[in-house]
Amino acid sequence: MKEKRIYQIADYIQSMGVVSMDELCEHFAISMSTLRRDINILLSQNSVQKVYGGVASKEHGLIPFENRDTINKSDKSLIAKKAAQLIDSNELIFIDSGTTTRDILKYLPEKVTKLTILTNNLDVINDVADRPDISLLVLGNIFKHSTRSFVGNDTLDIIEKYNINKAFMAATAVSIENGLTNSDIQEYELKKRIVRKAHQVYLLADASKFDHATLLTYAQLTDLSAIVTSKAIPEKYRHYFEDHNIDVFLCK
């Protein structure tokens, strides 16, 4: 019985990608202490890995930021370049923390002037520091090394003050069922508030992000105005975006 349950837990984690401990307890109707013993067995077998707030399959686990930078690097640059073309003069835009979003300013058209950028992304902050033509608004007072971003509870109240024309968002994973997800509670709260405030929301995500999910959903796909992505996205997502009037910008 125990061996069968452990196998079922491993299979469930594999199918979901990332799940919380509470969800596993509820799904399998077991106590937290029993679950921890089962998870320790799976960890010893190298079948799963711990992530913030839960457990992930080896296939879908959150990749460290410094390693994510090398994955699909060419597609990410093309996506950032395409997204930069969607920015107009006299706008207040939010640029999210991520290995794709941070490169947007490298491709900003020269014709775009009087731009104001709101961000918690350290790389964007450093980039704007050398651009006196761009006004900068910084969110957060606590630095997270793992994502090179700033967070903080006071940030949520600050966001309410601004009328954000466009938000360029990143996600750890994207799925029709779970929407745009990430695994950090503080970034989740920030992202969720930004999506609610922005007039237009653009998701920047390469094809590797699709059909996966992590712990926290900060937006549904229907919250998006458009998505900027690579050609290799699954066909069912193309149909979904078309059916829900979500614009798709494919990088070439």
**What tens digit of pLDDT does each residue of 152-188 get?**
878 888 999 999 999 999 998 899 998 998 877 788 8
3-state secondary structure the chain: CHHHHHHHHHHHHHHHCEEEHHHHHHHHCCCHHHHHHHHHHHHHCCCEEEECCEEEECCCCCCCHHHHCCCCHHHHHHHHHHHHCCCCCCCEEEECCCCCHHHHHHHCCCCCCCEEEEECEHHHHHHHHCCCCEEEEECCCEEECCCCEEECCHHHHHHCCCCCCEEEECCCEEECCCEEEECCHHHHHHHHHHHHHCCEEEEECCHHHECCCCCEEEECHHHCCEEEECCCCCHHHHHHHHHCCCEEEECC
Confidence of residue 1 (pLDDT cuts 50, 70, 90): low
Whether 103 and 119 have beta carbons less than 8 Å apart is answered as no
Give residue 71's pLDDT.
46
Whether residue 109 is predicted with pLDDT greater than 50 in this model: the reply is yes
* Integer angstrom CA distances of residue 10 from 15, 23, 172: 9, 14, 21
Whether 248 and 229 have beta carbons less than 8 Å apart is answered as yes
- For the chain, the structural domain boundaries read 2-57, 67-250
Give residue 3's pLDDT.
77
Provide the token pair at 208: 């590797």
**What tens digit of pLDDT does each residue of 127-151 get?**
999 899 999 999 999 898 778 899 8
CA 13 to chain centre: 20
Give residue 172's pLDDT.
85
Give residue 216's pLDDT.
82
Whether 76 and 70 have beta carbons less than 8 Å apart is answered as no
Name the nearest CA neighbour of 227 among 72, 209, 99, 17: 209
Please give the share of the chain, as a percent, with pLDDT higher than 90: 52
Q: Report the 10 Å Cβ neighbour count for 142.
A: 13
**What tens digit of pLDDT does each residue of 44-62 get?**
877 788 876 688 876 544 4
Give the lowest-confidence range in 5-19, 106-120, 186-200, 203-217: 5-19
CATH fold of 67-250 reads: Rossmann fold (3.40.50)
What value does the mean pLDDT take over residues 118-134? 94
What value does the mean pLDDT take over residues 217-222? 96
What is the distance between the alpha carbons of residues 71 and 75, in angstroms, rounded to a whole number? 9
Answering whether pTM is above 0.85, one says no
Give residue 165's pLDDT.
98
Give residue 57's pLDDT.
76
Q: Compute the radius of gyration of the chain from its Cα atoms.
A: 19
Q: Report the 10 Å Cβ neighbour count for 239.
A: 10
Provide the token pair at 180: 């745009």
Where does residue 85 rank: exposed (0-12), middle (13-18), buried (19+ CB within 10 A)? middle
Provide the token pair at 145: 């090394």
Whether residue 220 is predicted with pLDDT greater than 80 in this model: the reply is yes
What value does the mean pLDDT take over residues 206-233? 89
Domain 2-57's class? mainly alpha
Mean model confidence pLDDT for the chain: 87
Give residue 107's pLDDT.
95
**What tens digit of pLDDT does each residue of 9-41 get?**
887 787 677 788 888 898 888 999 999 999 998
